[in-house]
Amino acid sequence: MPRAPRSSPDPVLTLATFLPYRLNVVAASVSEGLARIYSDRFGLGIPDWRVLATVAEFGSITAKAIGAHAHMGKVRVSRAAAALEARGLIRRDRNAADMREAFLVLTPQGEAVYAEIVPLALDYVARLTADLGHADIVAIDLAITTLTRAADRMDR
């Protein structure tokens, strides 16, 4: 049984109202909900989907650039890319200017999987935001953009 909140003149951090915690909870909940869609039907994990979606968005991109764009660590990107390559969803094209580096590109099979997932993902977002008005969606987008910029500034 939870204890009553402590009474003290010291500052208290209540997780339920702490913005970073709340952002993490909503991000995890939304990400896991969407993951059930592409995991059950396509056998993709969250890192796999993020790499696949990033490659699809850019057409041709390095693993390092995926990590920066998708805020994923080098190991997670590498493992996801290897898994996607093993399944025939992406291929590596060597960079002629730097043979240590490769560009990741969707294969025709990867393009087909991506084309099947996108409508499902967009439908998920539509259902998630169905109770929000246009102004709410614009406000959320602005808040996320503003918080991301502030966090990036603070990280530098």
- Does residue 39 form part of some domain? no
Amino acid 127: pLDDT: 96
CA 15 and chain centroid, separation: 23
The answer to whether the beta carbons of residues 61 and 93 sit under 8 Å apart is no
Q: How many CB atoms lie within 10 A of CB 41?
A: 12
The answer to whether the beta carbons of residues 21 and 71 sit under 8 Å apart is no
- Does residue 16 form part of some domain? no
pTM listed for this prediction: 0.85
- Please determine, for residue 6, whether its predicted confidence score (pLDDT) is greater than 80: no
- Does residue 14 form part of some domain? no
- Does residue 20 form part of some domain? no
- Please determine, for residue 98, whether its predicted confidence score (pLDDT) is greater than 80: no
CA 55 and chain centroid, separation: 13
Q: Which CATH number is 98's domain given?
A: 1.10.10.10
The answer to whether the beta carbons of residues 52 and 37 sit under 8 Å apart is no
- Does residue 12 form part of some domain? no
- Report CA-CA distances (Å) from 67 to 47, 62, 117: 10, 9, 21
- Does residue 25 form part of some domain? no
- Domain range enclosing 86: 44-155
- Please determine, for residue 11, whether its predicted confidence score (pLDDT) is greater than 90: no
The count of domains in the chain is 1
- Please determine, for residue 22, whether its predicted confidence score (pLDDT) is greater than 90: yes
- Does residue 29 form part of some domain? no
- Does residue 18 form part of some domain? no
Q: If you average pLDDT over residues 120-134, what whole number do you get?
A: 96
The answer to whether the beta carbons of residues 83 and 104 sit under 8 Å apart is no
